[in-house]
Structure 1
Amino acid sequence: MEDLMKKHNIGAYITRTGDEHLSEYIGDSDKRVKFLTGFTGSNGIAVTCKDSVLYTDSRYYIQAERELKGYKLMRSTDTPIEEYLSNTLENRRVGLCPRFFSGRYYKIIKEKFAKKGLELVSFKNDLVDEIWKDKPERIFKEIYSIENFSLEDFYSKNLGEENLFKDTPITKSIPKRVVSMNYKEKLEKVRNLIGDDETLIISELDTIAWLLNLRGDDIEYNPIFYSYLVITKRMCHLFVNSKIALEDVKIHNYCDFCASFIDVITNKVVFSGDCNAFITNKFPTHRTIEDIRMLQSIKGEAEIEGFNLAYILDGIALTRLFEYVESNYKSLDEKTVADKLNEFKSIFAGYNGPSFGTIAGAGENSAVVHYEAGDKQLENDMPLLVDSGSNYTFGTTDTTRTLFIGKPSDEFRKDFTLVLKGQLRAMCGTFPVGVSGGILDGLTRLDLWKQKRNYGHAAGHGVGHFLCVHENPPTLYPNSSDAVKPSQIFSIEPGFYKDGEYGIRIENLVLSQDVGDGFMQFKNITYVPYQLDLIDLEMLTDEELDQINSLSREIRRVLERYIEKGSRVHEYLIKNTKELKK
């Protein structure tokens, strides 16, 4: 990189973890930050200069310190990038490729650089690609429609005909299909958002997949495909590299969008959500809408019942796993735990694999927020944090449970209970429709704050329907203004992490439901038992005790008929869903 930077007369070069679609999860061909620095997290900005640094957020501090080679860690709360470069560089020219930065970020950073006397230099292609000699090729796999998949069939195959209506407490009956609207109905709703003289450009892969009811497998853990979508009042153009045919949708080659198509657009341009700066810079008078992301976040009856089935199956698999760990921990390591969970899920019809790499952190590794399961052996008197998710054809899951092998310390039980109290407060209350994600985030932290404790990640995020496990809106993080609306599905996942000792996180998905008079309540849809002996009952109020008992009753009611009575798994379920009394 030094030779390239000299050749182009720049003092620094900025590389971001991401692809042209600003995806959170990326393919191997886009892992430029990993190639430069060794860092494998999903959020990193590498600044290559005389004293190279990598910026990331609190989820990855410990991980970055372990992985970085030749780059120094800069925390997101440390010196801002423009200030760091202003104090470091002699050559004030700073390069980047705008294809991998959002138009919003590009505009902001350009203004900040200018105030510091730094010149932002744009490159059409990323300079890293010139030195990455063994860079993998981008993979384009098959694209398929999910419109004709039968939700009834998946219920029947997994639970049996006799149970079709026993475990559907959310809606009145099981919809026939896995999606509530066909793609033509969705396109009609989207076209109502633009004018006759406007062209809508969508580059976010999950939104394109949602809108057209298509799925793919181009990026690990995400059933999406590389594409661009262009919509006018009369036309719809899809740019892909795989064969697909949709009525009233014109199919183009993926590369043609950036190579030629965007240069012949004459209408006013509207962007949905984020789009990269290479594209947005071509349309300086564009407008941006978030309405489609909001439509995507509102789940219909088919999606809700699909999530419900997904969590019955995940609940069975995770209960089996937790008992298996309890009985066999002496012969297990973290990777074996993750593999065993995938084995338990693989028997289910419609299971397409994990929705992210399973986090199985034992001992001090449980304090690493986004940890990749390794070879650490499980031992007695050790915490185990398991954060896992599934992609079923009918729904996506994301669940975290913190376990403890042996006898936990009083301090561990105290911290576990503080985290639990925060989850219950945000999960079991009544809130006005449109309550902000920031308010819900704060509610999860109140008990931790009283003990001068906190955690660095968001309290929750939306989840896609057989899509990306992280979907927005809504997002629950400090100062988030995202309005939570009825029929959204999102996580509530407070935590606490004691570096070098242990980490605690508890995560459930909930469905927001309108209860009238402008208010909502959140229905738990995560049928996974808590390890009840980690709770310090004296720290719970009577209301909180009722709440955890109510959750346990529902978990047992849903799961018990699918677990053989008298088995060790059944005993584990009964033990960890029993009524708690002070």
Structure 2
Amino acid sequence: MFQQFEVTSTPANGPARLARLQATLADQGLDGFLVPKADAHQGEYVAPRDERLAWLTGFTGSAGFAIVLRDRAGVFVDGRYRLQVRAQVALSHFTPVDWPEVQPAAWLREALPEGGTIGFDPWLHTMGEIARLRQGLEGSGILLRALDANPIDGMWEDQPAPPAAAARAHPIELAGLSHEEKRADCARALSDGGARAAVLTQPDSIAWLLNIRGGDIPRVPVMHGFAILHQDGAVDLFAAPAKLVGLEEHLGKQVRIAPPEDFAPALKALEGPVRLDPATAPVAVGTLLEAAGITVVEGADPCALPKARKNAVELEGARAAHQRDGVAMVRFLAWLDRNTREEAAAPLTEIDVIQRLEGFRAESGELRDISFETIAGTGPNGAIVHYRVTTDSNRPLERDNLLLVDSGGQYADGTTDITRTVAIGQPSGEHRRLFTLVLKGMINLSRARWPEGLAGRDLDALARIALWRAGMDYGHGTGHGVGSYLSVHEGPQRLARTGEVALVPGMILSNEPGYYREGAFGIRIENLVVVRAAGPVPGGDARAMLEFETLTLAPIDRALVDPDLLDTEERAWLDAYHAEVARVLLPRLDESDAAWLRAATAPI
């Protein structure tokens, strides 16, 4: 299943494309242009057609943006991509900018002290994003102008066609609720909030609401489209009709299908108030409604929170998917151990690792796809948080060093995401010390209990405190939400300093602290967890409390654990976790892999 998707730009061709764009800006009387990693649906992942940032700059990370001025271009990336961006862009022409430490408004104020006009594609930026940027530019003389056409599309001669994969029904046996029930519940909440309709632009919201799945985005089973949810529960769905052939009976008469070109006229014909989520709705949608005199009320996507709160059927599916995925991971880890014990004449490479791991997942017979591009980084490649191997970067596994493998599967009953860091050969004392500090953070968060009403930002520090005490940290959030056979990155819940949504039962999140030493190695340990109600504690009060249930089932490399750095409760947690992994997975393994797992899960 491993494939090296074509990269639409390299450091070598970026400068010429940048020069063409700068010339176009000058012709249009613009001083700059915003180039986001985004599409009109504002999901995290985009189709090849919408990889404008990669085409222009060469940077292929899942998040970031560029600001192109006539005399310079900044590529803004967060802590996950600080190393990657420097390897992928022509540093003579593109300047990496540390974001969010440096905000775009501040950068523009410094770059354009006399003011200027910055163009942007109103379909590729959310209302909230542009509102914040305008606020940051107040008094600077810098204006933002929405453009009718994206200049990059006019330059990109071989731009791929829009995706056109067929959609399919997601059965109620896996969804837990019918789309009639979901539409009624969301419409009721919409009406209670005083809105007559809500515009849905995110593909995962539409997929969840209508119990459909698609194939328009690599690794994410969603369909591109827009929808309008009305207060009576009816939905107008705007998508290429060819994608929905055969789904008429599933969708029913209350879901009316129309081609995408009918979306804008339908917006103009609505009766307000209409709810838009400023965090996800493109500027163009708000502009169309306001130009038609329709009242817009800002509010959260009505599907976001219900989608995040998995029902009992979805949670059972998640548990089943993780048991299946755990078998594949154990078979992979056993294979890796057998093939790296002795230094071979032809050592394994990162691509060998990816191909074998994806093969073990596929052998279950139930894998629909991997849930994201598998990360396998040995030595210095492991220090690149979202490293993506290519035939050029592919390294042999380094003896006496570490291998970081971050991977996941898409199954019809659940989405998985797991990271394991393993020692190849003999780990050093420093490897073991740092790995154990990361493990302490993962265990600390796994064991957390907290009062109802707290958000991810309130728990994030639990995973970092052992590293903080040692004077270290990691530059990414501790955890993201995960969908139910949907996106491996799902909001609104997060375990991060920016996670402001209260955690509630049914939310699935990742627990993945890490440590990265540039030029040397990376460490990350990741399990998926689900929020659940916590039972009473003897002597405690009657306060309602929450806790995590761990879903992921795979051993943690005991060769990298320094038991002296774990306290009694941490050692007990690790032994209990390994005992549970063995209990669930041993009956599913052949004797060779079962023997390996027994040794891998022995008490610490």
TM-score in terms of structure 1 length:
0.92
Match of 2:260 among 239, 254, 263: 254
**Partner secondary structure for residue 364 of structure 2:** coil
Query: Aligned equivalents of 1:254 and 1:346: distance in 2?
Result: 35
- Cα pair 1:462 1:473 within 8 Å, conserved: yes
Letter in 2 for 1:320: R
Match status 1:276 vs 2:297? no
Query: Aligned equivalents of 1:255 and 1:479: distance in 2?
Result: 36
Match status 1:327 vs 2:351? no
Match of 1:231 among 223, 229, 232: 229
| Per-residue deviation, residues 385-416 of structure 1 (Å, max 9, x unmatched) | 00001000110000000001111111111110
Identify unmatched segments of 5+ residues in structure 1: 149-176
Q: Which moved more, 1:232-241 or 1:58-67?
A: 232-241
> How many angstroms does 1:191 deviate by?
0.8
Letter in 2 for 1:464: G
Letter in 1 for 2:73: S
Match of 2:106 among 72, 75, 83: 83
Match status 1:368 vs 2:384? yes
In structure 1, the residue matched to 2:503 is: 484
Query: Aligned equivalents of 1:222 and 1:390: distance in 2?
Result: 10
Letter in 2 for 1:443: L
> How many angstroms does 1:197 deviate by?
5.8
> How many angstroms does 1:292 deviate by?
2.5
Query: Aligned equivalents of 1:481 and 1:146: distance in 2?
Result: 31
Match of 1:60 among 54, 77, 81: 81
Q: Which moved more, 1:539-548 or 1:508-517?
A: 508-517
**Partner secondary structure for residue 289 of structure 1:** coil
Match status 1:193 vs 2:200? no
- Cα pair 1:239 1:252 within 8 Å, conserved: yes
Match status 1:39 vs 2:59? yes
In structure 2, the residue matched to 1:140 is: 164
- Cα pair 2:195 2:275 within 8 Å, conserved: no
Q: 1:183 to 1:77 in 2, by over 3 A?
A: closer
- Cα pair 1:45 1:56 within 8 Å, conserved: yes
**Partner secondary structure for residue 316 of structure 1:** helix
Query: Aligned equivalents of 1:278 and 1:252: distance in 2?
Result: 19
Letter in 2 for 1:326: D
Match status 1:550 vs 2:576? yes
Letter in 1 for 2:137: F
> How many angstroms does 1:218 deviate by?
0.4
Q: Which moved more, 1:275-284 or 1:387-396?
A: 275-284
| Per-residue deviation, residues 32-68 of structure 1 (Å, max 9, x unmatched) | 0001100001111111111111001010010000001
In structure 1, the residue matched to 2:94 is: 71
Query: Aligned equivalents of 1:529 and 1:17: distance in 2?
Result: 36
- Cα pair 2:528 2:552 within 8 Å, conserved: yes
Match status 1:93 vs 2:117? yes
- Cα pair 1:280 1:286 within 8 Å, conserved: no
**Partner secondary structure for residue 328 of structure 2:** helix
Q: 1:545 to 1:197 in 2, by over 3 A?
A: closer
Letter in 2 for 1:94: I
> How many angstroms does 1:479 deviate by?
4.4
Query: Aligned equivalents of 2:160 and 2:25: distance in 1?
Result: 23
**Partner secondary structure for residue 99 of structure 1:** coil
Match status 1:388 vs 2:419? no
> What pairs up with 1:14-29 in 2 under 5 angstroms?
14-29=34-49
In structure 1, the residue matched to 2:431 is: 412
Match of 1:537 among 554, 557, 563: 563
> How many angstroms does 1:286 deviate by?
2.3
In structure 2, the residue matched to 1:501 is: 520
Match status 1:298 vs 2:309? yes
In structure 2, the residue matched to 1:164 is: none
> How many angstroms does 1:192 deviate by?
0.5
Query: Aligned equivalents of 1:178 and 1:81: distance in 2?
Result: 43
Q: 1:79 to 1:296 in 2, by over 3 A?
A: closer
Query: Aligned equivalents of 1:187 and 1:221: distance in 2?
Result: 26
Identify unmatched segments of 5+ residues in structure 2: 1-20, 291-295, 536-542
> How many angstroms does 1:97 deviate by?
0.8
> What pairs up with 1:398-477 in 2 under 5 angstroms?
398-477=417-496
Letter in 1 for 2:169: S
Query: Aligned equivalents of 2:276 and 2:117: distance in 1?
Result: 30
Letter in 2 for 1:318: M
Query: Aligned equivalents of 2:386 and 2:377: distance in 1?
Result: 9
**Partner secondary structure for residue 285 of structure 2:** helix
> How many angstroms does 1:316 deviate by?
0.9
> How many angstroms does 1:75 deviate by?
0.8
> What pairs up with 1:554-573 in 2 under 5 angstroms?
554-565=580-591, 567=592, 569-573=593-597
Query: Aligned equivalents of 2:364 and 2:210: distance in 1?
Result: 26
TM-score in terms of structure 2 length:
0.89
Query: Aligned equivalents of 1:233 and 1:22: distance in 2?
Result: 24
> How many angstroms does 1:84 deviate by?
2.3
| Per-residue deviation, residues 343-384 of structure 1 (Å, max 9, x unmatched) | 111122331111000000011111100011242111321210
> How many angstroms does 1:576 deviate by?
1.5
Q: Which moved more, 1:247-256 or 1:457-466?
A: 247-256
Letter in 2 for 1:555: V
> How many angstroms does 1:194 deviate by?
2.0
Query: Aligned equivalents of 1:80 and 1:187: distance in 2?
Result: 38
> How many angstroms does 1:82 deviate by?
2.1
| Per-residue deviation, residues 480-527 of structure 1 (Å, max 9, x unmatched) | 222111121111100011111111000001121112541112111111
Identity %: 30
> How many angstroms does 1:308 deviate by?
0.8
> How many angstroms does 1:254 deviate by?
2.0
Give the paired residue count.
549
> How many angstroms does 1:78 deviate by?
4.8
Query: Aligned equivalents of 1:298 and 1:77: distance in 2?
Result: 29
Query: Aligned equivalents of 2:532 and 2:60: distance in 1?
Result: 37
In structure 1, the residue matched to 2:24 is: 4
Query: Aligned equivalents of 2:166 and 2:96: distance in 1?
Result: 39
Q: 1:79 to 1:271 in 2, by over 3 A?
A: closer
| Per-residue deviation, residues 116-142 of structure 1 (Å, max 9, x unmatched) | 210111102211111111111111111
Query: Aligned equivalents of 2:350 and 2:287: distance in 1?
Result: 46
Q: Which moved more, 1:36-45 or 1:90-99?
A: 90-99
Match of 1:181 among 173, 177, 183: 177
Match status 1:217 vs 2:208? no
**Partner secondary structure for residue 100 of structure 1:** coil
> How many angstroms does 1:81 deviate by?
2.0
In structure 1, the residue matched to 2:142 is: 118
| Per-residue deviation, residues 297-354 of structure 1 (Å, max 9, x unmatched) | 1111211111111111111111111121222244311111111111111122331111
- Cα pair 2:45 2:217 within 8 Å, conserved: yes
Letter in 2 for 1:271: L
Letter in 2 for 1:505: R
- Cα pair 2:115 2:140 within 8 Å, conserved: no
> How many angstroms does 1:233 deviate by?
2.5
In structure 2, the residue matched to 1:165 is: none
Query: Aligned equivalents of 2:186 and 2:448: distance in 1?
Result: 33
Query: Aligned equivalents of 2:102 and 2:526: distance in 1?
Result: 32
Q: 1:197 to 1:366 in 2, by over 3 A?
A: closer
In structure 2, the residue matched to 1:158 is: none
In structure 1, the residue matched to 2:11 is: none
In structure 2, the residue matched to 1:340 is: 356
In structure 1, the residue matched to 2:300 is: 289
**Partner secondary structure for residue 257 of structure 1:** helix
Match of 1:354 among 370, 375, 399: 370
Letter in 2 for 1:68: V
In structure 2, the residue matched to 1:151 is: none
Query: Aligned equivalents of 2:498 and 2:369: distance in 1?
Result: 34
> How many angstroms does 1:290 deviate by?
4.6
Query: Aligned equivalents of 1:334 and 1:190: distance in 2?
Result: 45
Letter in 2 for 1:360: A
